[in-house]
Amino acid sequence: MPSFIFILSICLLEVFSERIKATIDCNFDNDLCEWRNKADSCFNWTIGNGKTGDKTSGPIADHTTGSSNGSYALIYGRRSHNSSCSAVIQSPSFYVTENSILSFWYHMNGNGIGSLNVYLVSKHTRQRIWQKTGRQSPDWLLANIPVSPGASKIEMEATAKYHFGSDLAVDDITLRKAPPSLQRTTTTLSPTTIQIAALPINCNFEDGLCGFRTYNSNFSSASWTRKNGTESLGKFTFLHGDNTTGSGSYLSLAIDNNRALIADRASLYIPAIRSQKMVCLTFAYSLPSHTSGVIQIFQTGTTTGNATLMKQLSGYHGLYWKSTFVQFLPSFEPMKIVIEGYYSGEPGCVVTLDDIHLVEGICDVQESKRTTRAVTTTFRPTTKTSPAIVFNKTSSCPSEYFGLLNELSCDFTSNLCNYTTINSPIHWQRKKGAGGNWIARIPERKNTLSGYYLTLNISTYAVRHGEGILKTPENKSNLSMFWNFRTVARKQFRYQS
């Protein structure tokens, strides 16, 4: 009987695996297969053949057959209302029991190309796992995206920057079990072996590895190597020097071409840290080739060994150093940060790192398109001020949250308390009494003595869309309560933690 159950289980898993392939895989030669346009999309994906109507964008043939006989999924940029309008195509629900790879080919060529985003959607989360923005290539390009085990859906979201030169296409979507080199394994460490490093941590690799480890026993064909000078393939130079000075040192993904396999990876281990405040990681990187590999940043718990993917960078990012950041939440448990570089399996796989900074504070930096010197980042520490109002502390509220409630409380009587705003075309402004305009009136606020409140400055007709961002002080809770007043159509309010 036990043998029968074991065999039956294997058979069921194989059948289920084939079912996943049947629902996700699609070459669009038979319409959208089991993919569907999302109901709340601004406009829809459609099926294209041969050339599109736009002479400056879109493919001239599908990827599957390379001819006008085949089909692909397509958005017509001219059907978009504006640059914030998106078309979303959604896969059926699926369940994978092990790490998998979502692969597809995409075509993004034209001055009006917007963005293509891929999301992994589960019951309670919608996580972006891949993104490309702007013109990429006149050819079809391949994307390979790791997918973690679990029940999910895939969503592909496309936008157009302009109404012209903005036709965007995808083709040949597949979901497969990840090769052995991508099956992540973690080792649980004994708490007695953990050494906590003091923050801040800064490294430009001029004098070595700064205490970082590059231990990589599972993939001896790939390693992070400290080097100077250029990154080249034949006569073509991808990179002319490091990010810090142009003549210093940086880390480069070194590959043994005789033994390396696609998706072999090198790991860089930052020393374990522990902080009850927000922690910001910034670093410079370069992915200067269309065959560049992948950079992934993981947060690993030192007691559980569980690894969480925090950010992924892949594909062509231009011929210059870029900067990026990752925000980490407060943690009572020691954590380790691992930066991994993956081999694409192709010549010209250039992956480099430089100027790593890890500090306490909120990341107050935008990802740069180009850097010519070391990454400079402003870290905003939490400044404690007296709260505008005092909460009545009840038995239903744990005592450890009393200080947090005071810090998050604000009726905007005299200032913004501990909150900060980000400059943008639409911004928050502090007002008193009744407000609004001839379109919508805001009643006077009766629940505070001062009558002050925050309102979005949307009085200018020059701004058609945008976001007003208000940042809370650092906190370790998702608790919030606020009053809001909305009357104007097509305005969205979003709370994000």
pLDDT score for 404 = 55
Question: What is the mean pLDDT of the segment spanning 407-414?
Answer: 70
Q: What is the pLDDT of residues 310-319, one digit of tens each?
A: 888 888 888 8
CATH code of the region 189-380: 2.60.120.200
pLDDT score for 321 = 93
CB atoms closer than 10 angstroms to residue 398: 9
pLDDT score for 343 = 87
Name the most confidently modeled range: 329-338, 385-394, 434-443: 329-338
Question: What is the mean pLDDT of the segment spanning 94-110?
Answer: 88
Name the most confidently modeled range: 128-137, 182-191, 307-316, 410-419: 128-137
Question: What is the mean pLDDT of the segment spanning 277-301?
Answer: 88
**Higher-scoring residue by pLDDT: 432, 286:** 286
Question: What is the mean pLDDT of the segment spanning 228-245?
Answer: 89
pLDDT score for 384 = 37
Residue 49 has pLDDT above 80, yes or no: yes
Question: What is the mean pLDDT of the segment spanning 13-26?
Answer: 57
Residue 141 has pLDDT above 70, yes or no: yes
Total residue length of the chain: 497
pLDDT score for 309 = 81
With beta carbons less than 8 A apart as the criterion, state whether 296 and 309 touch. yes
Q: What is the pLDDT of residues 109-138, one digit of tens each?
A: 888 999 999 998 987 888 888 889 888 888
Describe the strand order of the beta sheet including 100-108 as a list of residue ranges: 46-49, 71-75, 168-177, 100-108, 141-147
Question: What is the mean pLDDT of the segment spanning 398-411?
Answer: 58
CB under 8 Å to 261, separation ≥6 — which residues?
179, 181, 221, 343, 345
**Higher-scoring residue by pLDDT: 411, 165:** 165
pLDDT score for 209 = 92
What distance in Å separates the CA atoms of residue 129 and residue 147, rounded to the nearest whole number?
8
Residue 148 has pLDDT above 70, yes or no: yes
CB atoms closer than 10 angstroms to residue 221: 18
Instruction: Tell me what the pLDDT averaged over the chain comes to.
Output: 75
Backbone torsions φ then ψ of 56, nearest 5 degrees? -110, 5
**Higher-scoring residue by pLDDT: 166, 393:** 166
pLDDT score for 305 = 65
Residue 190 has pLDDT above 70, yes or no: no
pLDDT score for 459 = 47
**Does CATH place domain 2-178 in 2.60.15.10?**
no
pLDDT-based confidence at 451, cuts 50/70/90? low
Question: What is the mean pLDDT of the segment spanning 137-153?
Answer: 85
E strand or H helix that includes residue 319: none
| Lowest pLDDT segment from 43-47, 156-160, 431-435 | 431-435
**Structural domain spans, the chain:** 2-178, 189-380, 385-497
pLDDT score for 43 = 92
pLDDT-based confidence at 12, cuts 50/70/90? very low
With beta carbons less than 8 A apart as the criterion, state whether 197 and 360 touch. no
Same fold, 2-178 and 189-380: yes
